[in-house]
Structure 1
């Protein structure tokens, strides 16, 4: 039954104001999450994006074409019941942030990493109050407790919608610093993706691309772009 898809039963998906924000209705019937929670969204822009996905469905509903709807469901059904735990998982990336782990050689890769990442670690220190330590090689480096605390405080200040977006911004780049930089509007998703791929792009330049890995990377990049869009929808009236 894995190939089963629900059939479209509505003519019009519309946005309506409701207590606590906005909702989406299908011919007047309010959409609910998979866990049967009320789909109450924080901004009209987010609700309009969800409505547009429902309106665009054909005869059969294809969840793969509804990324904003999936993210709103995740925020309500998965993040909301365990908000503190999700924030903690995201903040933990600060302990092993991609930008802190550098190659020992070759010299060209070492230089590329420094040129791409040093400035963002400086930004984290100045903007977030988190001065992280850098190491060469794969052995873990202990980060200053005050830096980790500052990052954890920043993540904990996020609401469920922001956490749903930040979860992917951080997880897909491997960097809490880059994820927060996108969230703060300092960098766009395309550039964050490029910065997170310094090592992989170096390997490709030396040995060539693997088609399967390239396909997977393309999917991850699109997911990152969506996460950045979802963050923006949260902050667009």
Structure 2
């Protein structure tokens, strides 16, 4: 046994371990002692040792309209240890992404959400097994009815994976619903759409037709059914946990902007 442990120790930096060590060496070291939030023209800025932060690529000053968002970002900066790991800073990454995208990309973000809504997770149903069919009907029909009634639109779900065209009037109406939303709102909605696989759920969440937990549950009906049948894969569960952190971060942005 001791020989095996010693041999394993010789190779502890091979493969995954070596990759993790390499990644750690590539992360920048923490260079600041204190974080803070300062009021500036146009909103609030996160400060590191009194200096305002900038986005990583375009070096745009990070200014957000509300102190709550800036405080959340400052907390993420404060939580860094020896190295700065962007993977542990979802709010910072989301806001930096929005600022570097800029207002010019708002129409593209809107189109992306509508593209999902026209080919949405909620619209493509299983025909077996009966337990999965019932789960989809329970969560997805409820969501579609709420959105349809609220916005005066209709949807055409289908069984299987063949593309089903949605009414042009429905997509036009949903486009109009998003036509005046801000850069931060659309950035958060694109994030939620990608994480849930549903533009319909994202739009409904923004308009308070669903709670975040309802959206998350509806987005994972198929996965949860498979988990009940075959058990939970640990790696998949960890990926889902990290996605939920990203999801909750985008929800935090929407809640702040809404309130």
TM-score by length of 1: 0.91
3-state DSSP of counterpart to 1:132: coil
CA contact (8 A) 1:162 1:234 kept: yes
Alignment partner, residue 32 of structure 1:
54
Alignment equivalent of 1:89, drawn from 87, 112, 136: 112
More displaced 10-residue stretch of structure 1: 210-219 or 126-135: 210-219
Unaligned segments of structure 2, at least 5 residues: 1-21
Alignment partner, residue 28 of structure 2:
6
Alignment partner, residue 87 of structure 2:
64
Q: Distance in 2 between matches of 1:23 and 1:104?
A: 52
Q: Per-residue CA shift, 1:39-93, capped at 9, x if unaligned?
A: 1101111111112222222232222221111111011002534221121112111
TM-align CA RMSD: 1.9
The answer as to 2:146 corresponding to 1:123 is: yes
Q: Per-residue CA shift, 1:11-54, capped at 9, x if unaligned?
A: 32221111111112222211111111111101111111112222
* Alignment: residue pair count: 236
More displaced 10-residue stretch of structure 1: 84-93 or 221-230: 221-230
Q: Per-residue CA shift, 1:92-118, capped at 9, x if unaligned?
A: 111111111111122222222111111
3-state DSSP of counterpart to 1:156: coil
Task: Give the drift of 1:192.
Answer: 1.2
Task: Give the drift of 1:195.
Answer: 1.1
Q: Per-residue CA shift, 1:132-187, capped at 9, x if unaligned?
A: 11111111111000100111122332211111111121111111121122222333
Unaligned segments of structure 1, at least 5 residues: none
Q: Per-residue CA shift, 1:188-227, capped at 9, x if unaligned?
A: 3232111111112222222333333333222222222222
Q: Distance in 2 between matches of 1:168 and 1:224?
A: 7
Q: Distance in 1 between matches of 2:104 and 2:52?
A: 22
Alignment partner, residue 9 of structure 2:
none
Alignment partner, residue 14 of structure 2:
none
